[in-house]
């Protein structure tokens, strides 16, 4: 029998799942989706939330360390791991990367190592590195060694800190000496030696966040970053950004170690590829200086206009109900260095110079990745280029940055309708309509030129009406 929450307002169910996917940058499988709806029902029954809509509101306004997020994360993440997982990679670390690094540090007299296990789950990976270092560095007491281990899931981190493991954490790849030397049998499993436990610092961190800080300090100057079997859950855009951030967190010659299936993301990244027997490790390379773009538009000193309503223009292509926005032509005399990247992106988009616009959007994003209009404009451009999946991701990012970004909801609805996902389209359009309900009818919609709240409401009502008139099988 369906639980009450499953049969309640379904538009918020898909919104909840999309919110979780966007914030954690992961793709949820059907199993996780069912689990999340079960958790929502449990929370409602316990009186912690009023319903799915309330859960969406609360999650949208909270950090991932908040208990509600953690309840969701418990069922959304997979923590499969064990000691010395992927022997060939561990062997390369033990016999090549780490010995060279240690030798180099000894030669320079700077006995310091910084290693980060990103997505450490219950701690088997960082503890494996600590055990390795105990074997490799005889005078370890004279060294300044920090192993940072981070994960989204606080429950995993708590288990990691306890250091109590069941036999499932020791598999065939785990060297038998590991358990014999560094664990004692205890009630409920095997307890890790305190000297190993003390080498690792555990902290929560969402890899999808734009900045990596732990205890309010930026994560930087790392010698090695291990991020294995984590990126598989993310889309390419997110992976590319995570790898850029890893690049920034490494020191000049630092190493990045990914899981086997994750190496496909490393093409065109500023890392040198080192092929070892059965494993690939990546070493940081400084990116070449960014050349000035020859195609930079020349601007005049007209005042910069508001970003125009690309969505309306887009919608107009398909449906005359949305009024056209006036075309804004790029002025032509102010030097481009007087204008910010967002404005340049906007002008380029108005000229339909998509390449140029995307270039400036990337620049704008470097300045502030949380500006929703950047993701929105990118989404609209991608839609123009028929890059539907990319567009959906960008628009979802816009919504993640600004939950009430009405044009982003509207455009996502447009895409879903065209894809035949009518329930999802209805969900986004209903949400957009609810946002507009709180605004005055003659107010202009943010990021549009000439579209008022009333006009967009009319469009949405028309769209929703058409949907409900659609044949039942499509809904
Ligand atoms: C399969 S485990 C991998 C553990 C370990 N790296 C290994 O290879 O054995 C994946 C881990 O990534 C974590 N994870 C998933 N999404 C994350 C995110 N956005 N930020 C940080 N950690 C994340 C999960 O909680 C989980 O513990």
Residue 290 has pLDDT above 60, yes or no: no
In the reported structure, the alpha carbon of residue 206 is separated from the centroid of ligand 1 by a whole-number distance in angstroms of: 10
**Mutate which of 27, 84, 119 for ligand 1 pocket (most atoms within 8 A of beta carbon):** 119
pLDDT tens column, 134-190? 999 989 999 999 999 999 999 999 999 999 999 999 999 999 999 999 999 999 999
In the reported structure, the alpha carbon of residue 276 is separated from the centroid of ligand 1 by a whole-number distance in angstroms of: 25
In the reported structure, the alpha carbon of residue 342 is separated from the centroid of ligand 1 by a whole-number distance in angstroms of: 34
Specify the higher pLDDT residue, 145 or 14.
145
| C-alpha distance from residue 59 to each of 15, 25, 36, 351, 359 (Å) | 11, 14, 13, 38, 32
Quick one: pLDDT band at residue 297, thresholds 50, 70, 90?
A: very low
Residue written as tokens 């816009």?
Answer: 398
In the reported structure, the alpha carbon of residue 304 is separated from the centroid of ligand 1 by a whole-number distance in angstroms of: 44
pLDDT tens column, 251-271? 999 999 998 878 777 766 789
Domains belonging to the chain, first-starting first, are 10-76 (no CATH), 87-284 (3.40.50.150), 310-474 (1.25.40.10)
Specify the higher pLDDT residue, 300 or 414.
414
Residue 472 has pLDDT above 60, yes or no: no
Q: Which of 47-56, 74-83, 113-122 has the highest mean pLDDT?
A: 113-122
- Report the mean per-residue pLDDT for the chain: 83
pLDDT at 242: 92
Quick one: pLDDT band at residue 291, thresholds 50, 70, 90?
A: very low
pLDDT at 303: 27
**Residue with CA at minimum distance from ligand 1 atom 3:** 229
Residue 306 has pLDDT above 50, yes or no: no
Quick one: pLDDT band at residue 438, thresholds 50, 70, 90?
A: confident
pLDDT tens column, 323-367? 223 333 344 444 555 678 888 888 888 777 888 899 999 989 888
Question: Are 371 and 398 spatial neighbours (Cβ–Cβ below 8 Å)?
Answer: no
Task: HSE, CB side, 13 Å, CA atoms: give it for residue 195.
Answer: 11
**Category of 110 on φ-ψ map: left (φ > 0), alpha (ψ -120 to 50) or beta:** beta
Q: Which atom of ligand 1 is nearest to the CA of 208?
A: 19
**Residue with CA at minimum distance from ligand 1 atom 17:** 152
Specify the higher pLDDT residue, 176 or 463.
176
Specify the higher pLDDT residue, 196 or 23.
196
In the reported structure, the alpha carbon of residue 78 is separated from the centroid of ligand 1 by a whole-number distance in angstroms of: 7
**Mutate which of 230, 233, 257 for ligand 1 pocket (most atoms within 8 A of beta carbon):** 230
pLDDT tens column, 209-249? 888 989 888 899 999 999 999 998 888 788 888 999 999 99
pLDDT at 318: 35
- Mean pLDDT calculated for residue range 281-285: 90
212: helix, coil or strand?
coil
pLDDT at 311: 33
**What count of other Cβ atoms lies within 10 Å of the Cβ of residue 30?**
7
Residues whose beta carbon lies within 6 Å of some atom of ligand 1: 24-26, 77-81, 85, 119-121, 125, 151-153, 156, 205-208, 228-230, 233
**What count of other Cβ atoms lies within 10 Å of the Cβ of residue 291?**
6
Question: How would you class 351 by CB atoms within 10 Å of its CB: exposed for 0-12, middle for 13-18, buried for 19 or more?
Answer: middle
pLDDT at 58: 93
Q: Which atom of ligand 1 is nearest to the CA of 206?
A: 20
In the reported structure, the alpha carbon of residue 80 is separated from the centroid of ligand 1 by a whole-number distance in angstroms of: 8
Confirm whether pTM is higher than 0.75.
Answer: no
Whole-number Å distance between alpha carbons of 202 and 161: 7
């Amino acid at each position: 029998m369906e639980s009450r929450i499953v049969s309640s307002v379904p538009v918020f169910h898909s919104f909840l799942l999309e919110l979780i996917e966007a914030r954690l940058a992961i793709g949820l499988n059907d199993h996780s989706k069912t689990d999340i709806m079960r958790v929502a029902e449990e929370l409602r029954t316990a009186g912690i939330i009023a319903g799915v809509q309330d859960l969406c509101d609360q999650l949208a306004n909270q950090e991932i360390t908040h208990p509600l997020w953690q309840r969701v994360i418990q069922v959304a993440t997979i923590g499969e791991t064990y000691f010395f997982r992927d022997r060939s990679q561990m062997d390369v670390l033990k016999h090549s990367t780490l010995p060279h690094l240690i030798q180099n540090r000894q030669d320079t007299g700077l006995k310091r190592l910084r290693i980060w296990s990103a997505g450490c789950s219950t701690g088997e990976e960082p503890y494996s590195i600590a055990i390795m270092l105990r074997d490799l560095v005889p005078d370890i007491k004279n060294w300044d060694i920090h192993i940072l281990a981070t994960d989204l899931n606080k429950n995993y981190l708590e288990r990691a800190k306890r250091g109590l493991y069941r036999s499932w954490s020791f598999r065939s790849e785990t060297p038998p000496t590991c358990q014999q030397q560094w664990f004692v049998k205890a009630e409920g499993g095997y307890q890790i030696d305190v000297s190993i436990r003390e080498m690792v610092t555990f902290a929560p961190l969402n890899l999808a966040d734009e900045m990596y800080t732990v205890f309010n300090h930026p994560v930087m100057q790392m010698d090695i970053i291990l991020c294995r079997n984590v990126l598989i859950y993310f889309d390419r855009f997110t992976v590319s950004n995570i790898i850029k951030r890893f690049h920034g967190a490494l020191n000049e010659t630092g190493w990045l170690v990914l899981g086997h299936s994750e190496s496909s993301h490393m093409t065109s990244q500023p890392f040198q590829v080192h092929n070892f027997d059965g494993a690939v490790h990546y070493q940081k390379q400084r990116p070449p200086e960014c050349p000035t773009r020859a195609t930079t538009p020349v601007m005049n000193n007209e005042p910069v206009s508001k970003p125009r309503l690309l969505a309306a223009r887009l919608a107009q292509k398909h449906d005359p109900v949305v009024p056209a926005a006036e075309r804004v032509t790029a002025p032509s005399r102010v030097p481009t260095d007087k204008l910010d990247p967002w404005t340049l992106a906007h002008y380029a988009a108005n000229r339909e110079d998509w390449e140029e616009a995307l270039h400036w959007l990337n620049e704008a994003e470097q300045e502030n990745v949380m500006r929703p209009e950047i993701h929105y404009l990118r989404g609209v451009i991608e839609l123009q280029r028929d890059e539907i999946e990319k567009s959906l991701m960008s628009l979802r990012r816009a919504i993640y940055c600004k939950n009430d970004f009405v044009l982003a909801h509207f455009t996502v609805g447009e895409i879903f309708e065209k894809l035949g996902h009518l329930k999802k389209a209805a969900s986004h359009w209903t949400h957009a309509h609810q946002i507009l309900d709180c605004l005055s009818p003659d107010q202009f919609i943010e990021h549009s030129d000439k579209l008022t709240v009333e006009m967009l409401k009319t469009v949405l009502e028309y769209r929703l009406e058409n949907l409900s008139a659609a044949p039942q099988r499509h809904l």
